[in-house]
Amino acid sequence: MTSITAPRPKVPPLEGELRPGARPSRRQWLTRAAFGRNPIGMIFGAPYALFIALLFAYPLSLAVWISFHSYFFAAPGVSVPRPFVGWANYTAVLTDPAVRQSFVNIGIFLVINVPLTVMLSLLLATALNAAIPFRTFFRTSYYVPYVTASVATIGVFLFILSPSGIFNHVLGPLAPVPSWLVNQNWAMPSVAIYVTWKGLGFFILLYLAALQNVPDELYEAAKVDGASWWHRLRAVTIPGVRQVTTLVSLLAIITGANLFTEPYLLTAGGGPDGKSASPVWLIYESGIEQNHPDFASALGVLLVILVLLISAGVWLLQRRQA
């Protein structure tokens, strides 16, 4: 097969640009090395770069620095020794049973939350994408919990999951004892189910957007071939929204790893007995309440690394499947 390429029109170089074949001067080379071929692009990108540098890169760099020193928050102008302590803070974090428990808790949370989020949001998005009555009402209804303050929705869940709440009334003798939020085995699953419900609206929205891009012809062809609803879901819908599934999985993992409000409010500070404590809760407890930001920073850095590794694993897995 041959390809025909139209000849490129000759465009004269712009002012300041090098002519083809010309050697750049040292100044031109330095300018290009620092700002690229289009310096104007750097100006457009600068506000966001600054935002990233100040609110992400700087705190992260500072956290890494703090994690290798003996550090506590001091008043401005107060000179305090902050000696380098090597890996001591990391050793303290990794040998702390509360930290290990919090990572186990997050593992339980992710195992429940991520698949549940992906499955429910895809199923509900598929249903909401179909021509059903009151479609707009349902779409709004699913989104309401996402935009409602966590404090308010947690208040509702505290009632629902209390010993005399509706769940226990419905379950009767099957209700767990002690009740959900103070039960060693059910506290974290309860938190995971609450978070799934709370975030579902957002993930449904992502899937709805992706479903708009799946060509109708594929469904029609599948129908002609006699594919059932289930087969169409497996053979057309799921592959068609794979990229969004990756995104939803990654966002759910990141949300889960950053869990704080729920153990703080729903299970009264990670109870019972730390069974719903999260690493971020421990960061708050040690860094803010107890003024040990060195320990908290080491834990934070480890959490960042872990989230990056899990996210990379998910991304690679789904890319390989694609």
Partner 1 sequence: MKSRIVVAAAVPLILGLLAACGGGASGVSTSSANDAQGPITIWYSNNAQEVAWGEQMVASWNKLHPSEKVSGQQIPAAASSEEVIGAAITAGSEPCLIYNTAPAAVPTFEQQGGLVSLSSFPGGAAYIESRTGPGASVYKSPDGQYYQMPWKSNPVMIFYNKKIFAKAGISTTNPPLSTYTEFLATAKKLVSSKAAQYAIYPDPSSDFFQSWYDFYPMYAAETGGTELVENGKSTFNSTAGDAVAAFWQQLYAENLAGKESYTNDPFASGAAAMAIVGPWAIDSYQGKVDWGVVPVPTTAGSHGDQVPTFSDAKNIAMYASCKNRGTAWDFLKYSTSTAEDGKLLSMTGQMPMRQGIQQLYAPYFKANPAYTEFAAEAAHVIEVPNVPNSIQDWQVFRDAWSKSVIFGQQSPDAALTGAATAINKLVAATTP
By the criterion CB under 8 A, which residues form the site for partner 1? 33-34, 36, 49, 53-54, 57-58, 60-62, 64-66, 69, 72-80, 82, 98, 155, 158-159, 162-163, 178-179, 181-182, 184, 267-274, 285, 288-292
Output 45 or 115, the one with its CB closest to partner 1: 45
Closest CA to 141 of 201, 218, 206, 96: 201
User: Distance between CA atoms of 90 and 84, rounded to whole angstroms?
Assistant: 13
Q: How far is the CB of 39 from partner 1 (least distance, A)?
A: 12
Give the pair of three-digit tokens for residue 198.
Answer: 């709370």
Q: How far is the CB of 265 from partner 1 (least distance, A)?
A: 8
User: Distance between CA atoms of 17 and 37, rounded to whole angstroms?
Assistant: 9
Q: How far is the CB of 26 from partner 1 (least distance, A)?
A: 14
Contacts of 177 (CB under 8 A, 6+ apart): 183
Q: How far is the CB of 57 from partner 1 (least distance, A)?
A: 3
Contacts 24+ apart (CB under 8 A), 86-92: 89/294, 89/295, 89/297, 89/298, 90/298, 90/302, 92/295, 92/298
Output 157 or 202, the one with its CB closest to partner 1: 157
User: Distance between CA atoms of 286 and 280, rounded to whole angstroms?
Assistant: 10
From start to end of 33-181, where are the E strands?
Answer: none
Output 97 or 226, the one with its CB closest to partner 1: 97
Give yes or no for a contact between 84 and 68, defined as CB atoms under 8 angstroms apart. yes
Output 49 or 209, the one with its CB closest to partner 1: 49
Q: How far is the CB of 29 from partner 1 (least distance, A)?
A: 10
Q: How far is the CB of 40 from partner 1 (least distance, A)?
A: 16
Output 120 or 193, the one with its CB closest to partner 1: 193
Output 56 or 229, the one with its CB closest to partner 1: 56
